[in-house]
């Protein structure tokens, strides 16, 4: 009995040992499974689908264009193996100020969109308020040779840093009526942006085309002496500054810029070769050009479609913008793509922006004619002929293209937009002869200084 009892104890001990061994092995196996599962979850998280919101102002005539571009970008992301999807978020507003106000409210509520598009004039305040991501380092992966590089130096570029990328461009050209030049035996204006027609030549030619009275009067030139033109592109071509000094004080009363305004004043008052506000009250300047009543019209690329479709009675030429001292400049107007600072996915947002900047996406946008001209060189080259059809010559088309290497940005800042509107309100007083050019420049300088001071006080 003692032996049997002893054997039962030994067997029990052996059985217990076997059970503990199996338990340890099971615990080890379960631990390994948990680690494996955790690793799998980490891998899944790192490659998990990311949906980015792209805030867009919902103008009905532009929705199709931006949708086409984003759809093409999403296809590019998928083809490149990126688990990223861009989803358009339509901000139901009719103006840029409303759009910006609503996006700012989303940012404040912690519901910031990831990407978006905004008017260039808003970029200075967006940057100042730290609402846009600094993408300077990210841009090193962008092949700039594929794009018109001048377009990147817009209001989205501040203090040597990039906060936005151009979403398309409008710029200034000089359209002219070839038939009118031929009829008078006058040499056509220069197509060479490095050796453009001079201010004095334009004035002499404009006088020769000016004749008649009232609704039948023809004019030599249609051009708007707005701040961004007279104080910007024309001033630079005459050796002056682009509206401001480095400290953002006005430079428009300096001699080189005053000469530009005096040039306009002489054509308005002395020669009467440029239509005044009373002349354009019923028919605008470019409409008068289309009607064959103006020989030369300095205006934007937003009239390309009109040249192609509306002008049927004469041949149109495209010349370089007039210049004071040889090299001409063209004011550019550029809206920006940006990554909002509130994004929770900065790297994925940059990858999405690169997809938006792909040729496939630019091609898709260009086909719709939305957002201005593409700044992707290859896309631009492929569509430029179709923009005008057979309405212009190869030489004119070359002038149109080369303008993109001579563009200059409007120097938007925190107070420019407000000051510009106030100056425009004074413009007709000068153009109608109720204020001298010197009085207008003095008043404009005062407006710029006062608006600058008021903006700085608010900031402090």
The string of pLDDT tens digits covering residues 100-140 is 999 999 999 999 999 999 999 999 999 999 999 999 999 99
Could you give all domains of the chain from N- to C-terminal order, each with its CATH number? Answer: 50-169+334-375 (3.40.190.10), 170-333+406-459 (3.40.190.10)
**C-alpha to C-alpha distances, 158 to 120, 175, 219, 414, 437, nearest whole angstrom:** 12, 33, 41, 12, 33
Local structure of residue 231 (DSSP, 8 states): I
Question: CA dihedral defined by 449, 450, 453, 458, rounded to 10 degrees?
Answer: -150
d(CA 32, CA 344): 33
- Please give the helix or strand (H or E) that residue 45 lies within, else none: helix 2-46
**Is residue 52 helix, strand or coil?**
strand
**Rounded-to-5 percentages of helix, strand, coil across the chain:** 50, 15, 30
**C-alpha to C-alpha distances, 185 to 163, 179, 297, 318, 408, nearest whole angstrom:** 50, 10, 19, 18, 33
**If pLDDT is split at 50, 70 and 90, which confidence band does 38 have?**
very low
Beta strands in 154-240 (DSSP E): 157-158, 161-162, 165-166, 170-177, 219-222
Mean pLDDT on 74-93:
95
pLDDT in tens, 333-355: 999 999 999 999 999 999 999 99
Report the sign of the C-alpha dihedral through residues 262, 263, 265, 269, in that order. positive
Specify the pairing of strand 336-339 against strand 115-118.
Answer: antiparallel
**Is pLDDT of 442 > 60?**
yes
* Strand order, beta sheet including 165-166: 84-91, 50-57, 115-118, 336-339, 165-166
**Is pLDDT of 412 > 80?**
yes
Could you write out the three-class secondary structure of 266-327?
HHHHHHCCCCCCCCCCCCCHHHHHHCCCEEEEEEEHHHHHHHHHCCCCCCEEEECCCECCCC
Tally the C-alpha atoms within 13 A of residue 382's C-alpha that lie toward its C-beta.
Answer: 14
**Percent with pLDDT over 70 in the chain:** 90
Mean pLDDT on 206-226:
95
Instruction: Say if CB 218 and CB 422 are below 8 A apart.
Output: no
Instruction: Say if CB 172 and CB 298 are below 8 A apart.
Output: yes
Would you call 459 exposed, middle or buried from its count of C-beta atoms within 10 A (0-12, 13-18, 19+)?
Answer: exposed
d(CA 172, CA 45): 49
pLDDT at 427: 95
Q: Is 343 left (phi over 0), alpha (psi -120 to 50) or beta?
A: beta
Using alpha carbons, select from 161, 164, 204 the residue that is nearest to residue 184: 204
d(CA 387, CA 302): 11
pLDDT at 6: 37
pLDDT averaged over every residue in the chain: 89
Q: How many helices (H) and strands (E) does the chain have?
A: 17, 13
pLDDT in tens, 247-273: 999 999 999 999 999 999 999 999 999
């Amino acid at each position: 009995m003692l032996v049997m009892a002893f054997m039962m104890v030994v067997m029990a001990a052996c059985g217990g040992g076997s059970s503990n061994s199996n338990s340890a092995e099971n615990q080890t196996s379960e631990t390994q499974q948990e680690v494996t599962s955790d690793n799998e979850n980490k891998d899944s998280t790192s490659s998990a689908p990311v949906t980015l919101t792209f805030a867009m102002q919902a103008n009905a005539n532009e929705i199709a264009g931006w949708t086409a571009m984003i759809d093409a970008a999403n296809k590019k992301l998928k083809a490149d193996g990126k688990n990223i999807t861009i989803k358009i978020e339509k901000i139901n507003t009719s103006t840029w100020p409303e759009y910006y106000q609503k996006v700012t409210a989303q940012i404040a509520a912690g519901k910031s969109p990831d990407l978006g598009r905004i008017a260039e004039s808003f970029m200075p305040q967006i940057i100042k308020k730290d609402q846009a991501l600094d993408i300077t380092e990210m841009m090193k992966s962008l092949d700039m040779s594929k794009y018109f590089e001048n377009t990147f130096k817009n209001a989205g570029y501040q203090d040597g840093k990039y906060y936005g990328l151009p979403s398309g461009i409008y710029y200034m050209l000089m359209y002219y009526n070839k038939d009118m030049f031929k009829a008078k035996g006058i040499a056509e204006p220069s197509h060479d942006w490095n050796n453009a027609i001079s201010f004095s030549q334009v004035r002499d030619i404009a006088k020769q085309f000016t004749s008649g009275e009232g609704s039948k009067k023809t004019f030599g030139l249609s051009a708007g002496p707005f701040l961004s033109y007279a104080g910007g592109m024309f001033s630079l071509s005459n050796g002056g500054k682009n509206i401001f000094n480095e400290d953002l004080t006005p430079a428009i009363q300096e001699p080189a810029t005053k000469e530009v305004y005096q040039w306009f004043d002489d054509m308005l008052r002395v020669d009467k070769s440029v239509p005044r506000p009373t002349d354009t009250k019923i028919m605008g300047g470019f409409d008068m050009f289309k009607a064959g009543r103006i020989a030369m019209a300095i205006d934007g690329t937003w009239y390309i479609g009109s040249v192609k479709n509306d002008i049927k009675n004469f041949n149109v030429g495209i010349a370089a913008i007039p210049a004071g001292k040889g090299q001409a400049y063209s004011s550019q107007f550029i809206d920006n793509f940006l990554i909002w600072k509130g994004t929770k996915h900065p790297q994925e947002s940059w990858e999405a922006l690169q997809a938006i900047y792909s040729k496939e996406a630019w091609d898709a946008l260009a086909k719709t004619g939305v957002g201005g001209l593409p700044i992707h060189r290859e896309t631009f080259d492929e569509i430029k002929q179709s923009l005008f059809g057979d309405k212009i010559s190869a030489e004119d088309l070359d002038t149109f293209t080369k303008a993109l290497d001579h563009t200059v940005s409007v120097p938007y800042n925190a107070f420019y937009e407000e000051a510009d509107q106030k100056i425009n309100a004074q413009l007709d007083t000068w153009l109608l002869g109720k204020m001298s050019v010197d009085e207008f420049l003095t008043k404009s300088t005062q407006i710029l200084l006062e608006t600058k001071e008021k903006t700085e006080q608010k900031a402090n």
